[in-house]
Structure 1
Amino acid sequence: MRKFDWDALQAFLAIARAGRLTIAAQQMGVDHSTLSRRVASLEASIGVTLFERSSVGFLLTPEGERLMTDAEAMESLAMRINARLDDPSGGLTGTVRVGTPEGFGTYFLAPRLAKLTAAHPDLEIELVANPRMFSLSKREADIAVTMTRPTRGRVYAHRLNDYALGVYASGAYLESHAPINMFQDIFKHRWIGYIDDLMWSTELDYLSQISTALMPALRISNVISQAAAVSGGAGIGVLPCFIARKEEALVRILPDEIALSRSYWLVSHADTRDIARVKLLSDFIRTECSGSEAFWGRWP
């Protein structure tokens, strides 16, 4: 029976997910030539070509696609074995990573992690609060909070909560610009919004929901910086109410005429969701959200 080199399979997975040798090598912490040799050795041992090498990177061949499925299954099994070896008693040790939108991670989750870390001092938690999508199949995170329910992949999704959004401006801005007393007045003002090609979710396209005629004069890639710009008087913008209430300078505009809502979803991968530390963090986030309805609501 042919013996497989697990290091070679890990190299294969890293390149398949990254698409480029140099990026995969950085992620694995090895030299790119070492990674290349491992994949070449794997191809030689099984007698097939796993990648098409091109100027744009490494693309899986049909044989590579088939191996990818089996290699990921082996990886998941290895992760479960390692989890048991970390603590044979089934305790909570090791590292668990959660990827979230920056608003959720910064304003909601981060301040609540103290109670979890105090209860489980041997557990290492990594919070990645970035404006992006996280691929659980590529192991970019163990669990993720998203703004839409995934429709593909071997994942489980749980709706955490809905949250309110509104249009805000600073008091100083409103004092020095034309009054906003009715809906048509909003077209006389400078708007702050997202950069189109950096809008990582269609759920962030707030302005077109209000009016397709609205175009931002100032475009910013993340909501925390948008809130700072609105608070600083650069214009008016749509913000989650749970963020806006942290900015004392902000005033809600036309709250009865313009009120939006969005949802957060908790997503876990089928292969790893039952690992104790992953389940613990998932359950913690769900519990915290279910007991915080007022946090997500309309303000003022």
Structure 2
Amino acid sequence: MIDPSDLLVLLAVARTRTHLAAAETLGLNHTTVARRLKALEREVGDRLLVQGSRGWELTAIGRATIVAAEGVEKALQTLPGVEEIQVGGLHGMVRVSSTEVFGLLVVIPAFASLRKIHPHIRFELVPVARSGWPYGRTEDLEIAVTRPSSTRTERRKLIEYKLGLFASSGYLQEYGTPETLSDLQKHTAIYYIESMLEVPDLDLLARLYHSSPQVLGAMSALAQLEMTRRGLGIGILPDFLAKNEPDLRQVLIPKIPDFPITYWMSARSENLRRPEVRAVAVAIESQTRLVFDTLKE
């Protein structure tokens, strides 16, 4: 006989990817989580989870079993007394990982609007500056600028933007405006720290500079924007961010090719089956259109 509470343990591990994070969610210790998963696998007669590079992954049998686990969770939510938590709509924790700028401009406003309708949804925003994550990431939705390649995630294109070269009017007056790529080689670049950059789509320095340029680096696009505004060099910046700065001028148009970058939103299928995660995803899509349409005006 399968213990329904063991199915809830499996559900927590599938969502959080680690025994420790699942234990914190359930109010257990991680050894108890591991023991109950073993017991469930004995009852099912097959492996439900395998360890992957990013944490625990469901096997084919595990994905089938998780449907039953979600049924148990849904049934528990109909018990007397639980409806009190349901007042006001959806509830539950949704964790989103996002680049810093997109998180500030889109994700936080989207969640603020959604929480007016569903005040019991809780939210965590994890800012990221690189595409690779260490073992144990636990986000429900991931927003990044590299197209997700995993076949176990659902992905959606949110918006495309372009990177351009920008400098302050004071910098250009002091150091001159580059007219060609050869002129650009004499200028200090402001961009990501090359040794820390793990997003191939953002690896642009080699395409703009013939040799290693002098680079003032920061892993924050907002920090790069501030460095550019203060006249420290020529920033390689998102056009939607820099074009709203009255003192910044875009240079080398149209002498350099466009550098289109796409924001992608992805999530594992089992997470998207949770209504609170779907609601946050829809809110982010809607807010993306609203924000970027406004920035283009």
Q: Normalising by structure 2, what TM-score?
A: 0.73
Q: Does 1:154 align with 2:152?
A: yes
Counterpart residue number, 2:138: 140
Contact 2:13 2:22 in 1 (8 A): no
Cα distance in 2, alignment partners of residues 90 and 138 from structure 1: 32
3-state SS of 1:234 partner: coil
Give the paired residue count.
278
Contact 1:93 1:123 in 2 (8 A): yes
- Where does the alignment leave 5 or more consecutive residues of structure 1 unmatched? 19-23, 51-58
Superposition pairs of residues 144-183 of structure 1, within 5 angstroms: 144-183=142-181
Cα distance in 2, alignment partners of residues 111 and 5 from structure 1: 36
Contact 2:4 2:69 in 1 (8 A): no
Q: Please, what is the CA RMSD of the aligned residues?
A: 4.1
Cα distance in 2, alignment partners of residues 78 and 2 from structure 1: 11
The partner residue of 2:107 within 97, 106, 109 is: 109
Cα distance in 2, alignment partners of residues 139 and 76 from structure 1: 22
Cα distance in 1, alignment partners of residues 241 and 2 from structure 2: 57
**Residues 39, 150 of structure 1: alpha-carbon distance in 2 compared, 3 angstrom cutoff:** same
Counterpart residue number, 1:254: 252
The one-letter code sitting in structure 2 at the alignment partner of 1:250 is L
3-state SS of 2:267 partner: strand
Question: Residue by residue, what CA displacement relative to the aligned partner does 1:128-153 show, whole Å, maximum 9, x if unpaired?
Answer: 23223487x96621112121221214
Counterpart residue number, 1:284: 283
**Residues 239, 118 of structure 1: alpha-carbon distance in 2 compared, 3 angstrom cutoff:** same
3-state SS of 1:272 partner: helix
Counterpart residue number, 1:56: none
3-state SS of 1:128 partner: strand
1:125 Cα deviation from its structure 2 partner: 2.7
Cα distance in 1, alignment partners of residues 51 and 281 from structure 2: 33
Contact 1:147 1:262 in 2 (8 A): yes
Contact 2:89 2:117 in 1 (8 A): no
**Residues 111, 43 of structure 1: alpha-carbon distance in 2 compared, 3 angstrom cutoff:** closer
3-state SS of 1:105 partner: helix
Counterpart residue number, 1:221: 219
The one-letter code sitting in structure 1 at the alignment partner of 2:175 is H
**Residues 293, 243 of structure 1: alpha-carbon distance in 2 compared, 3 angstrom cutoff:** closer
Question: Residue by residue, what CA displacement relative to the aligned partner does 1:52-86 show, whole Å, maximum 9, x if unpaired?
Answer: xxxxxxx959xx98986655765675456546626
Percent of matched pairs sharing the same residue = 25
3-state SS of 1:280 partner: helix
Cα distance in 2, alignment partners of residues 262 and 247 from structure 1: 20
The one-letter code sitting in structure 2 at the alignment partner of 1:172 is G
**Residues 246, 126 of structure 1: alpha-carbon distance in 2 compared, 3 angstrom cutoff:** farther
3-state SS of 1:162 partner: strand
The partner residue of 1:234 within 232, 235, 244 is: 232
The one-letter code sitting in structure 1 at the alignment partner of 2:224 is Q
Cα distance in 2, alignment partners of residues 113 and 296 from structure 1: 20
3-state SS of 1:156 partner: strand
3-state SS of 2:272 partner: coil
Counterpart residue number, 1:124: 122
Cα distance in 2, alignment partners of residues 208 and 77 from structure 1: 51
Contact 1:134 1:140 in 2 (8 A): no
Contact 1:162 1:296 in 2 (8 A): no
Cα distance in 2, alignment partners of residues 180 and 66 from structure 1: 51
Counterpart residue number, 2:6: 6
- Where does the alignment leave 5 or more consecutive residues of structure 2 unmatched? none
